Structure 1
Amino acid sequence: MNATNLATATPGASAAARPADPRAARATTDVRRFAWLMAQLGLLLGVFRLYDIEEPSFGLLALLVTGGFALHYWTPFAWKSTLLVAWSLGSAYVMLPAATATLLIASGLLLYGVATAPVAFRWRLVAVLLLTGGLAYARAIVVPGVPPEFWPIFGALFMFRYIIYLYECAYAKATPTLADFLSYFFILPNYYFVLFPVIDYQTHRQTYFRRDIHEVAQQGIVWIARGTIQLMLYRLVYHWKGPSNAPEVVTSFGALVTTMVLTYLLYLRVSGQFHIAIGFLHLFGYDLPETHRKYLLSRSLTDFWRRINIYWKDFMVKLVYFPVYFRMRRSGEMRAQVVATGLVFLTTWFLHAYQWFWLRGDFLMTWPDTLFWAILGGLVTVNLLIEQRKPARAAVKAPPAWWREPLQVAATFCLIVTLWSLWNAPSVGEWLDLLTWWKVG
């Protein structure tokens, strides 16, 4: 791992303390290009308002992001990071009740103090575990003076990214700065999107003005537009599907297939929100990678895992797969891969329940959820083993190339749709009723 000095490359640090930052050249302003970017954002704001994209507070978020982009664009580079942190913290009081915003900032400062305390990392880790236990207990009960809306936002900001932050603190040669902490956790779109991409700490820092701001912002606008289209498609899917998967509604095989496919396509809301959230961050110079990559066209379950929620996959690879794989590699390449993959899906299952706890107040422990991750993890592992043996199977006659890929895509889609219907069922019994009612009802 590249454990560089975390303070040296901090965006917005004092220009007098180091040589001229090469990123400043990528922040050069241009009136024409700025006007073109603002015109596109204005058009998107009109679309948001005309079609009531998301909840009413989303419109306020979009205005804050657009206004913040305009200020950030014309601010000298040395002050851009400071302005963005101040704008994000101030926007918390616009997007959220004052008590909730104050508690969020105070909690963040407490977590920063614990993570960067001048003691051995193992003691900081113990302190974090104790603090997490206390906060989880407070989440499970009604604490006087703590607004109910505080907990989902607190979880959205810290439940996963704080794990990554602790990982970085464990290997950092210098104490991460408060400015880095605030810019990483208090991300403006995160106040609205409680389901938020698990952005990697190093990626967040290293992509800041990695390219010319106009190119990065334009890419962000394209992704915002893509996410908006997906949210509009989600509305159509929700309308066609209806709010219920009740078996008695599914009276034919065609109705069963339609219901299962539309249930899977409801995920368009998550992917659409992720595209918009990352697109918003692009406006501020963060050249982050895309979160989803044509996951409906996956050719295998392994390919599906690589394409859907890419940030989560990278999160699991960094914190679970690689540590386990390299520790077990001496005992056998294949064994290390199988064990590491299994632990990735076991951890994913637990962390989704953990996420549910912070957002909803109770752990998601159901048989459909458990079976979904167990089956998906098992099938991905089998798929991985098959891919490893492809060289040995090269002599086996394969289907013609022109229809091999469409067949793989169709088979993977059918399998994912089936598993997704199980994942969204209230119970295994109701899922079986859904599959059979059209025939026996």
Structure 2
Amino acid sequence: MMLFHSLGVVYIAFGWLSGLLLFLGTVVVYFVLSSGIRYWVKIAFLLLFFISMLPWRLEIIYMPRIQIIVPFLAGFFMLRVWSFLSVNQLELEKKSVHAFNFFFLGPNLSFPLMPIIDYRDWKKAYNSSTETTYYTAIDRLAAGLFNLLLFRVIYHFLYIAPFAIHNGMDVIQFMLASYLMLLRLPGLFLLISGWLGLMGLNLPPVFGRFYFANTYSEVWRRINIYWKEFVVKQLYNPFFVLFGKFSFNMRMGMAIILAFALSSLLHTWQLLWIKGNFDFRITDLVYWTVLGCLVFVSGTIFPSKFIQRFNAQTKINFLDAMRNASAVLMVFISMSVLYSLWITGDIHYWVYILSLLQHFTYDDFYFLISTASLLLVGFAVLTMIFHRFRNHKEFFSVLPFSSGIFILMLFFLRFADPPQLKKLLHYVPNHEDVSRMEKDYYDAAVGSVNRRAYNWELILNRKRPEFFKRDDQLHRRRNDLLTRELRPSVSVDLNGSHYTTNSFGLRDKEYAEYPDSGCYRFAFLGASYTMGYGVNDRQSFEALLEDTLSRDYCVEFLNFGVGSYSLVQQVALLNEKVNHYHPGGVIYTAHSQEKFRVTRSFVSLVQNGIDLKYPALISIRDRAGLKQYMGFDELFSRTQPFSDELLDWGYKEIIYYCKTHSCVPIMVFAQATMDEENRLEWEALQQKAEGLGFVILDISNALVNYPVENIRVSELDHHPNAFGHQLLMRALYVQWKKNEEIIFNRYGK
């Protein structure tokens, strides 16, 4: 039954050709592993197997039908094969369907990060199905659903990105929320084990209540039981035997530290196949080594007699419950600090984040003390209640999780607006993941080497590199503030759209150097939306507006848009290129997250060692203490206090250009398809821009009433499609007509 289900999942996910390749690949590898050939031959075969798949996973070779299955084919074997071979050597296994299913698992197609199920446990699970197996499966599904719902609440509403940290409370929020987001992993694993339980597999528990652990040893025992068993059996035990000449504690300590250090490499090995890049960081090794030392010290050298007694006794009083709650809180806080090092990925930046703890107020301190005290008392009381009724497992199995799901859903249905409710019910990237997606998109386009992987679900569906290689036919790089520009006089097809540039390097038709008498000419500045990424020539909202207005009078909009340009590039573009065509007006296209985008662009310039040229930009760099060797997140954090200054500088430069060249300054504000509507942000920008002298054309509502699926190019490309550009043009046409008299009264003045 399970085999047929897995085959059905493969067909639905990949179609018949890729699905057949995945199935046949699994069959071939399984038969080699379960055959009677020598052990070293099997190891050599596995090495050849993984080496042969690397070019596809690293996107050196692009063959879609094969590339799409490589992460999953590797996922079937990358760690479970270790357990299978160790058993297979001791117990000459016969080929069987249940042994094949050990690798060819349907859930593995939905959850690349599968728990590392031990093969012996898998065999037992096949033969020990009882009525309680299905009750346990339902419990796990409920627990998994609750964990994932809670994770999404934390992910969207509590988590703060590292680059958004400004003070001590932000640091605390970042550390606690980061550690709490581990809820996603037990949530996924519980869903997997619950699904397998409904198939009749009586698998052991996957996760314990690791957030409530009162020692580091307990954290290790509970945080991922399957992984812990894998590390103990495959790494710790061999090392413990290897160091047989040393004392018991020495053997244990050395084995633990080495096993934990190798765990970091195994995680990197997993992520290589899931993300498609080898991303080993020194913080990975530090995290696992420090955790191993803490486990060793708390379990052997300084074991707490109180904790041992507390964990063993059947009755507890309030004082003991408070002491236990204090231990749990201390372990939770220290694990949050340690985990923040891992998730930050940069020791230098992590130290910088910790330095922000000095920015605490007395109110913050009192709030933390009060909250911690309430949590201690509340946890102590709950511990006593659960301890008293712990034998009534049938009452506490589904009740907490079903109650939690009900409360979360009730809260969101009552108080949340539809976009917030969508975040709970569907996977929607938060602001940090969206920004990393956008940054990586343009980093690849301009050839930046500073790529950092974001959420692995997004990585699995990443665009192929040929898009960016072929993009070089349209763009050429520059080692200055512009970073790149469109090649003049080219005509290319990219990603399903046709792009043509004129002799001056604009995605537009040819224009004379001076406008005809009686004709209005405007320079249209912007990024990829203005340029029309993802649509054919003359389908961008700029071109559509020009064609529409030209029915009433002569008007020319010169499209200076280039993908990835922000306010800094627009200023450089103004001073270098725009005056060649002598426009009487300059239209600057601003987007949602304007402050974030200009800050990110400025940071990228510093990180790539670009000459900033303008004294104001150099001053910001120096006052923020920015150095090229720093990581992106640290640079961004240091720059954020100067974001308003960057905006003021850019807007004033545009106004200055318009005054000195007799142009009317116009600002168009458009909502990006991936961003949430933020009226407060736009109102602040509008007030700033109007105060400086911009004519404001607000088209921020042009796309909000349409499902994003209908207005974007594709699931992987969130630029507006042809319909989206038509909507933008209609909204801009209305705003233009509304402000037409003001624009023409100031035109050329």
Tell me which interval the TM-score lies in, with the shorter structure as reference length.
0.7 to 0.9
Provide the C-alpha distance between the structure 2 equivalents of 1:204 and 1:342, rounded to a whole number of angstroms. Answer: 28
The letter of the residue matching 1:234 is: F
From 264, 271, 295, the equivalent of 1:349 is: 264
**Bigger RCO (CA 8 Å, 6+ sep):** 1
After TM superposition, list the pairs within 5 Å mapping 1:145-294 onto structure 2.
145-172=64-91, 174-212=92-130, 214-242=131-159, 244-246=161-163, 249-294=164-209
Is residue 86 from structure 1 mapped to residue 4 from structure 2 by the alignment?
A: yes
Task: Give the alignment's Cα RMSD to 1 decimal.
Answer: 2.5
- The answer to whether the 8 A contact 2:50-2:74 is kept is no
Is residue 128 from structure 1 mapped to residue 69 from structure 2 by the alignment?
A: no
- The answer to whether the 8 A contact 1:151-1:359 is kept is no
Closer, same or farther in 2 for the Cα pair 1:179/1:243, shift >3 Å? same
Scaled by the length of structure 1, what TM-score is found?
A: 0.74
Q: Find the residue that maps to 1:430 and give its secondary structure.
A: helix
**CA offset digits 1:8-30 (Å, max 9, x no partner):** xxxxxxxxxxxxxxxxxxxxxxx
Q: CA deviation at 1:242?
A: 4.7
Closer, same or farther in 2 for the Cα pair 1:419/1:134, shift >3 Å? same
Report the counterpart of residue 49 of structure 1 in structure 2: none
Report the counterpart of residue 367 of structure 1 in structure 2: 282
Q: CA deviation at 1:142?
A: 1.9
The letter of the residue matching 1:239 is: H
Provide the C-alpha distance between the structure 2 equivalents of 1:99 and 1:268, rounded to a whole number of angstroms. Answer: 36
Structure with the larger strand share: 2
Provide the C-alpha distance between the structure 1 equivalents of 2:136 and 2:303, rounded to a whole number of angstroms. Answer: 36
Worse-superposed segment, 221-230 or 235-244: 235-244
Q: Find the residue that maps to 1:424 and give its secondary structure.
A: helix
- The answer to whether the 8 A contact 1:251-1:438 is kept is no
Closer, same or farther in 2 for the Cα pair 1:335/1:361, shift >3 Å? same
Report the counterpart of residue 349 of structure 2 in structure 1: 430
Q: CA deviation at 1:146?
A: 4.1
Q: CA deviation at 1:379?
A: 2.0
Provide the C-alpha distance between the structure 2 equivalents of 1:328 and 1:388, rounded to a whole number of angstroms. Answer: 23
Report the counterpart of residue 317 of structure 1 in structure 2: 232
Q: CA deviation at 1:372?
A: 1.3
Q: CA deviation at 1:269?
A: 1.1
Provide the C-alpha distance between the structure 2 equivalents of 1:169 and 1:94, rounded to a whole number of angstroms. Answer: 32
The letter of the residue matching 1:192 is: S
Identity rate, percent:
26
Q: Find the residue that maps to 1:97 and give its secondary structure.
A: helix
Closer, same or farther in 2 for the Cα pair 1:96/1:243, shift >3 Å? farther
Report the counterpart of residue 111 of structure 1 in structure 2: 29
Provide the C-alpha distance between the structure 2 equivalents of 1:341 and 1:368, rounded to a whole number of angstroms. Answer: 18
**CA offset digits 1:44-102 (Å, max 9, x no partner):** xxxxxxxxxxxxxxxxxxxxxxxxxxxxxxxxxxxxxxx32122223211233333322
Structure with the larger helix share: 1
Report the counterpart of residue 335 of structure 2 in structure 1: 416
Closer, same or farther in 2 for the Cα pair 1:378/1:218, shift >3 Å? same
Q: CA deviation at 1:120?
A: 2.1
Q: Which structure 1 residue ranges, 5 or more long, are not aligned? A: 1-82, 395-399
Provide the C-alpha distance between the structure 1 equivalents of 2:274 and 2:53, rounded to a whole number of angstroms. Answer: 13
The letter of the residue matching 1:120 is: R
Q: CA deviation at 1:293?
A: 0.7
Worse-superposed segment, 139-148 or 355-364: 139-148
- The answer to whether the 8 A contact 1:250-1:438 is kept is no
Q: Find the residue that maps to 1:286 and give its secondary structure.
A: coil
Q: Find the residue that maps to 2:67 and give its secondary structure.
A: coil
Provide the C-alpha distance between the structure 2 equivalents of 1:265 and 1:253, rounded to a whole number of angstroms. Answer: 18
After TM superposition, list the pairs within 5 Å mapping 1:41-80 onto structure 2.
none
Q: CA deviation at 1:209?
A: 4.6
- The answer to whether the 8 A contact 1:209-1:285 is kept is no
Provide the C-alpha distance between the structure 2 equivalents of 1:258 and 1:156, rounded to a whole number of angstroms. Answer: 34
**CA offset digits 1:268-316 (Å, max 9, x no partner):** 1111111111001111111111211111001111110100011000011
Q: CA deviation at 1:439?
A: 3.5
The letter of the residue matching 2:355 is: T
Provide the C-alpha distance between the structure 2 equivalents of 1:278 and 1:243, rounded to a whole number of angstroms. Answer: 31
Scaled by the length of structure 2, what TM-score is found?
A: 0.44
- The answer to whether the 8 A contact 2:145-2:191 is kept is yes
Is residue 384 from structure 1 mapped to residue 299 from structure 2 by the alignment?
A: yes
**CA offset digits 1:388-410 (Å, max 9, x no partner):** 6969x99xxxxx63432112111
Report the counterpart of residue 422 of structure 2 in structure 1: none
Report the counterpart of residue 100 of structure 1 in structure 2: 18
Provide the C-alpha distance between the structure 1 equivalents of 2:20 and 2:108, rounded to a whole number of angstroms. Answer: 16
Closer, same or farther in 2 for the Cα pair 1:147/1:282, shift >3 Å? same
Closer, same or farther in 2 for the Cα pair 1:371/1:324, shift >3 Å? closer
Report the counterpart of residue 323 of structure 2 in structure 1: 404
Q: CA deviation at 1:333?
A: 1.6
Report the counterpart of residue 474 of structure 2 in structure 1: none
Closer, same or farther in 2 for the Cα pair 1:132/1:178, shift >3 Å? farther
- The answer to whether the 8 A contact 1:114-1:128 is kept is no
Provide the C-alpha distance between the structure 1 equivalents of 2:252 and 2:159, rounded to a whole number of angstroms. Answer: 42
Provide the C-alpha distance between the structure 2 equivalents of 1:216 and 1:360, rounded to a whole number of angstroms. Answer: 34
**CA offset digits 1:94-120 (Å, max 9, x no partner):** 233333322221221121232133322
Answer with 1 or 2: which has the greater Rg: 2
Provide the C-alpha distance between the structure 1 equivalents of 2:304 and 2:266, rounded to a whole number of angstroms. Answer: 32
Provide the C-alpha distance between the structure 2 equivalents of 1:176 and 1:133, rounded to a whole number of angstroms. Answer: 28
Closer, same or farther in 2 for the Cα pair 1:305/1:142, shift >3 Å? same
Worse-superposed segment, 359-368 or 305-314: 359-368
- The answer to whether the 8 A contact 1:210-1:287 is kept is yes
Provide the C-alpha distance between the structure 1 equivalents of 2:96 and 2:279, rounded to a whole number of angstroms. Answer: 34
Report the counterpart of residue 249 of structure 2 in structure 1: 334
Q: Which structure 2 residue ranges, 5 or more long, are not aligned? A: 310-318, 360-640, 642-749
- The answer to whether the 8 A contact 2:137-2:193 is kept is yes
Provide the C-alpha distance between the structure 1 equivalents of 2:106 and 2:273, rounded to a whole number of angstroms. Answer: 19
Number of residue-to-residue matches in the alignment: 350
Provide the C-alpha distance between the structure 2 equivalents of 1:438 and 1:98, rounded to a whole number of angstroms. Answer: 56
Q: CA deviation at 1:126?
A: 2.4
- The answer to whether the 8 A contact 2:253-2:293 is kept is no
Closer, same or farther in 2 for the Cα pair 1:251/1:175, shift >3 Å? closer
Is residue 303 from structure 1 mapped to residue 191 from structure 2 by the alignment?
A: no
Report the counterpart of residue 20 of structure 1 in structure 2: none
